[in-house]
Amino acid sequence: MLPNFETSLKKYAELLVKIGLNLQPRQRLLIFAPLPSAPLVEQVVISAYQNGARLVDVFYGDERVTLARFQYAPRDSFTEVTDWFYKAALDYAERGDAVLQLAGTDPDLLKGQNPALVHTYNLARSQALRPFSAYVSRDALNWLIAAYPTASWAAKVFPNVPADQCEAKLWEAIFEVCRVTQPDPIAAWETHLARLATWTAYLNHKQYTSLHYTAPGTDLTIGLPQQHVWVSGRTKTPSGIEFTANMPTEEVFTLPHKDHIAGVVRASKPLSYNGTLIEDFSLTFEAGRVVEIKAAQGEETLRNMINTDAGAASLGEVALVPHNSPISQSGLLFFNTLFDENAACHLALGDGIRYCLQGGIHLSDEEYGARGGNHSLIHVDFMVGSGQMNIDGQLLGGGAEPIMRNGEWAFTV
Ligand code: ZN
């Protein structure tokens, strides 16, 4: 156990409630959490009530139960979902309440399972979650994803550390990159979020028409829609609650134009997708769509994912992260998107982020699509950035200027 673990856990819980969710007095809070995270959940619940929450509900999930289903349930049963579970989340969203998800499953949980079965399982869950996801993609509620280290996940991140020390090592890393170890974590987050906001302001002012990425194995042009909006750590619900949906967060992101993507991009880190690891892969785009897929490992899973629906073959997010971010500098591969996406510039296949378009949350699906926004049941981030990546922004009046050089910002604000 880490020294001062209990104190750090309380500080972490307080960050989730105050900076992540920015839970408001009179709100309810719904928590989805893995079973082993109960000690953190208890601290979050205490902090929530201390901050005026009216009611906190907790749903615990157990990855062993998920695995048992894959091992023993009828093969034709994987389209079945429990409606009430998804309706509970929707009910919270409709009421204007807050939702926290604690993530920390074994990245290899479903490794040995039939990819078609895993695909059916994921598709059924995505469809059931769709009404709730619509609220999330509009930032219509204060929601947050944060992490809790489980033993299986920790063992994957630290394969060479004795089993009884892995969890403590992962806690140490999470506390570090989530700024829990700073003398005043709340103040450190305020400073960090303010700095992210200066970068988004600079990029929003520029309104580049496209981005050109170059790196070993990558030569990709991504068009940006007119009136795209760069967003970072802190966003706001329509009711005015400022919240930070991911902890940690180091990214500055916007919406790509789904029809204007061309070239090839090579992933710079493996992608852990619902229990399967996809490694050493590259995607070729033409007219906004993936036309060629290559992967050294997990290619079938990647193909299934891209074939989920029409929008899964295009992009819904472009995100910039400087190579010197704390997560990148930790040198760790977390096998968890929440962390790994904040270590490197990344793209997401699938659903676009509506609030990254001016007025986007008020558009009909058709209008949003016509302006370049992508629709899909999936939104899967993959890492493309490295210390060798350069990115240039194309200006509306012609000419280009550097945005990143060797993985770092190429401008000062
Ligand atoms: Zn992202």
Which region among 108-112, 230-234, 247-251, 298-302 has the lowest average model confidence (pLDDT)? 108-112
The alpha carbon of 397 and the centre of ligand 1 are apart by a number of angstroms equal to 29
Which region among 57-71, 306-320, 323-337 has the lowest average model confidence (pLDDT)? 323-337
The alpha carbon of 74 and the centre of ligand 1 are apart by a number of angstroms equal to 36
Residue linked to tokens 């890393």: 173
Alpha helices by DSSP H, listed for 17-56, are 38-50
Region of 25 please: left (phi>0), alpha (psi -120 to 50) or beta: beta
Distance CA(224)–CA(208), nearest Å, equals: 7
Q: Does position 350 have pLDDT exceeding 80, yes or no?
A: yes
Kindly report, residue by residue over 218-244, the tens digit of the pLDDT: 999 999 999 999 999 999 999 999 999
Provide the pLDDT confidence category of residue 401 given band limits of 50, 70 and 90.
Answer: very high
Q: Distance between alpha carbon 289 and the CA centroid of its chain, in Å?
A: 22
The alpha carbon of 321 and the centre of ligand 1 are apart by a number of angstroms equal to 9
Q: Are 354 and 368 in contact (CB under 8 A)?
A: yes
Q: What's the 3-state SS for 244-262?
A: ECECCCCCEEECCCCCCEE
The alpha carbon of 137 and the centre of ligand 1 are apart by a number of angstroms equal to 12
291 backbone dihedrals φ, ψ, rounded to 5°: -115, -10
The alpha carbon of 72 and the centre of ligand 1 are apart by a number of angstroms equal to 35
How many residues belong to the chain?
A: 413
- Superfamily of segment(s) 5-177: Thermophilic metalloprotease (M29) (3.40.1830.10)
Structure tokens at 285: 């785009």
What global pTM score does this model have? 0.87
Query: 153 forms bridges with which residues in the sheet?
Result: none
Distance CA(192)–CA(26), nearest Å, equals: 28
pLDDT value of position 333: 87
The alpha carbon of 94 and the centre of ligand 1 are apart by a number of angstroms equal to 25
Q: Are 79 and 52 in contact (CB under 8 A)?
A: no
Provide the pLDDT confidence category of residue 254 given band limits of 50, 70 and 90.
Answer: very high
Structure tokens at 229: 């909006």
pLDDT value of position 231: 95
Structure tokens at 113: 């399972």
The alpha carbon of 230 and the centre of ligand 1 are apart by a number of angstroms equal to 12
The alpha carbon of 49 and the centre of ligand 1 are apart by a number of angstroms equal to 30
The alpha carbon of 327 and the centre of ligand 1 are apart by a number of angstroms equal to 14
Distance CA(363)–CA(393), nearest Å, equals: 27
pLDDT value of position 272: 83
The alpha carbon of 69 and the centre of ligand 1 are apart by a number of angstroms equal to 31
For the chain, helix, strand, coil in percent to 5 are 40, 25, 35
The alpha carbon of 352 and the centre of ligand 1 are apart by a number of angstroms equal to 11
Q: Domain extents for the chain? A: 5-177, 206-409
Q: Does position 275 have pLDDT exceeding 80, yes or no?
A: no
Number of Cβ within 10 Å of residue 85's Cβ equals 14
Provide the pLDDT confidence category of residue 390 given band limits of 50, 70 and 90.
Answer: very high
The alpha carbon of 400 and the centre of ligand 1 are apart by a number of angstroms equal to 24
The alpha carbon of 317 and the centre of ligand 1 are apart by a number of angstroms equal to 7
Strands 98-103 and 28-34 turn out to be parallel
Distance CA(405)–CA(409), nearest Å, equals: 6
Calculate mean pLDDT across residues 38-57. 97
pLDDT value of position 294: 97
The alpha carbon of 6 and the centre of ligand 1 are apart by a number of angstroms equal to 31
